[in-house]
Amino acid sequence: MEIAKMGDVTLEKLVGADIMKDKLGLYARVIVPPHSAVPYHKHEGNGEVYYFLTGEGEYSDNGVVRTVKPGDVTWTPDGSSHGVENKGDTELTFMALIINS
């Protein structure tokens, strides 16, 4: 397992492109501390699924914001944008899967 940091956000990479070759961009558990965020970004050449495990956050799907909590699943297709912010006082954790187009 490889651990990477994006600011305050931690990515525990479970499986990477070395195993899945060109099919998989990322499979990781993402830990977003309180009052931190995965910045809003656009996907090009891939899509991404989030499966939320703990905490609560505000998820922006192409500018449409909604609350996410454990058990929620999101999908961001190729060409779309998203981001998530933890506005709570506990960690927000989710599984992230990037599938290459």
Domain with 74 in it:
2-100
Mean pLDDT score, 53-80 = 97
Report helix, strand or coil for 17. Answer: helix
CATH code at 38?
A: 2.60.120.10
| Cβ neighbour number for residue 97 with a 10 Å cutoff | 17
Rounded to the nearest angstrom, the gap between the alpha carbon of residue 42 and the centroid of all alpha carbons in its chain is 12
Q: How far apart are CA 11 and CA 5, in angstroms?
A: 6
The per-residue pLDDT for range 15-28, each reduced to its tens digit, is 866 777 788 888 99
pTM given for the model: 0.91
The per-residue pLDDT for range 27-40, each reduced to its tens digit, is 999 999 999 999 99
Q: What percent of the chain has pLDDT over 90?
A: 77
Domain count, the chain: 1
